[in-house]
Amino acid sequence: MVWLRLWAFLHILAIVTLDPELKRREELFLRSLGFSSKPNPVSPPPVPSILWRIFNQRMGSSSQKKKPDLCFVEEFNVPGSVIRVFPDQGRFIIPYSDDIHPTQCLEKRLFFNISAIEKEERVTMGQLELRFSQNTYYGRVFDLRLYRTLQITLKGMGRSKTSRKLLVAQTFRLLHKSLFFNLTEICQSWQDPLKNLGLVLEIFPKKESSWMSTANDECKDIQTFLYTSLLTVTLNPLRCKKPRRKRSYSKLPFTASNICKKRRLYVEFKDVGWQNWVIAPQGYMANYCYGECPYPLTEILNGSNHAILQTLVHSIEPEDIPLPCCVPTKMSPISMLFYDNNDNVVLRHYENMAVDECGCR
Ligand SMILES: *[C@@H]1O[C@H](CO)[C@@H](O)[C@H](O)[C@H]1NC(C)=O
Ligand SMILES: *[C@@H]1O[C@H](CO)[C@@H](O)[C@H](O)[C@H]1NC(C)=O
Ligand SMILES: *[C@@H]1O[C@H](CO)[C@@H](O)[C@H](O)[C@H]1NC(C)=O
């Protein structure tokens, strides 16, 4: 069980540090969370405000005991369990000469390495954001063209018509800080890395507006303050199955201190050396199960039929058959905001991270 591994691992790691056996356990645990190795952000980008907003909403709803749907992202109204924000790794394409393209502000190749999305995940949303972080050119008008690169030629980044396909051509006025483009279908095809040759973005100053100042000034501003990122929502069908029906237990008052029950345990990520890649939360109430499962098992101990039988056999043959164990019977997920192995910002739920109820099994 993930939980037992987590608990054993965190406890030991808190006491001793980085003995090879522990490193191996940490690796095992990280692998069960879906990491090939411990993320070590090199140049972590800032966390997009949208992810903070969603994360905080989820933290709020979990404290209100309202169960969040783990396989639907309400904020975007799409199915999904993982939200990632990929930074742009493309470069500016230097114009051949100012004389040839006197009216062009910028031409930039956009590239998002989405290889962190696993094969079995289904992309349900892909959204490109162009953010202009200054208001100095407030209200000025530009023309924008966005192409998908189909082929990379040696001469230049897909300048010829056959090597790129026009996706969007629009005029925009810089009133808002961001422009968004729907790239859902394109992201789906990019799951095959051979098809991911990126995009090309071109921005031109609109002729009518150039009386305000020289085109050069406007262009310099837009080039300096442009930030591009790709947000994806994906659904892992293996993890998003229909929820199981809840079992009902009768609630009897019971207060013996050494009896099987849930104990409080707050895990702080700083204590296990994860503070540089886990952005939030800083820690969480993980809890654990501890205590005896004595004969006869009362209802509050939530014993399975098998456990009840085992205590019976134990009372007859105490030497050979042990008592059942006190283990988690109900667990809940937590949301984590973190940097993955490629410095992407990721928001996702992890199942079975906190113990809600214990029982004898
Ligand atoms: C994308 O990232 C993966 C994992 O870091 C890396 O192996 C791969 O070479 C990258 N692809 C490109 C085109 O940069
Ligand atoms: C984005 O495009 C996909 C298909 O290309 C469509 O199903 C989806 O509804 C679009 N999303 C939005 C927010 O318009
Ligand atoms: C058994 O389940 C009930 C609720 O279903 C819970 O209140 C109780 O604490 C559980 N027993 C233990 C030992 O955790």
Alpha carbon distance 56, 85 (integer Å)? 17
Is residue 185 lining ligand 2, measured as CB closer than 6 Å? Answer: yes
State the closest ligand 2 atom to the C-alpha of 182, by its place in the atom list counted from 1. Answer: 1
State the closest ligand 1 atom to the C-alpha of 89, by its place in the atom list counted from 1. Answer: 14
Residue 354: both structure tokens together: 């906190």
Residues of the chain with pLDDT under 70: 1-18, 61-68, 94-103, 133-139, 153-162, 175-176, 207-218, 220-221, 223-225, 241-257
Residue 347 forms beta bridges with which residues?
Answer: 83, 337
Residues 6 or more apart from 136 whose CB is under 8 A from it? 221
Q: How far is the centre of ligand 3, averaged over its atoms, from the C-alpha of 359 (Å)?
A: 7
Is residue 152 lining ligand 1, measured as CB closer than 6 Å? Answer: no
- Return the SS3 of 228: strand
Of 165, 163, 129, give the one whose Cα is nearest residue 145: 165
Alpha carbon distance 274, 282 (integer Å)? 9
Determine the CATH number of domain 23-69+257-360. Answer: 2.10.90.10
Q: Are strands 141-149 and 345-360 parallel, antiparallel or unpaired?
A: unpaired
Span 285-339, pLDDT tens digits: 999 999 888 877 777 788 888 888 888 888 888 888 888 999 999 999 888 999 9
Residue with tokens 């101990």: 301
Alpha helices by DSSP H, 209-348: 215-224, 305-316
Q: How far is the centre of ligand 2, averaged over its atoms, from the C-alpha of 303 (Å)?
A: 48
Alpha carbon distance 267, 289 (integer Å)? 15
Alpha helices by DSSP H, the chain: 2-15, 20-32, 49-63, 184-190, 215-224, 305-316
**Would you state the pLDDT for residue 207?**
66
Q: How far is the centre of ligand 3, averaged over its atoms, from the C-alpha of 344 (Å)?
A: 39
Cβ-contact 148, 186 below 8 angstroms: yes
On the CB side of 163, CA atoms within 13 Å amount to: 13
Q: How far is the centre of ligand 3, averaged over its atoms, from the C-alpha of 190 (Å)?
A: 47
Is residue 115 lining ligand 1, measured as CB closer than 6 Å? Answer: yes
Query: What kind of fold does domain 72-153+162-238 have according to CATH?
Result: Jelly Rolls (2.60.120)
Span 345-355, pLDDT tens digits: 999 988 889 99
DSSP class of residue 105 equals -
Cβ-contact 286, 323 below 8 angstroms: no
Answer whether 23-69+257-360 and 72-153+162-238 agree in fold.
Answer: no
Residue 2: both structure tokens together: 């993930």
Full-model pTM: 0.72
Q: How far is the centre of ligand 2, averaged over its atoms, from the C-alpha of 81 (Å)?
A: 18
Domain ranges of the chain: 23-69+257-360, 72-153+162-238
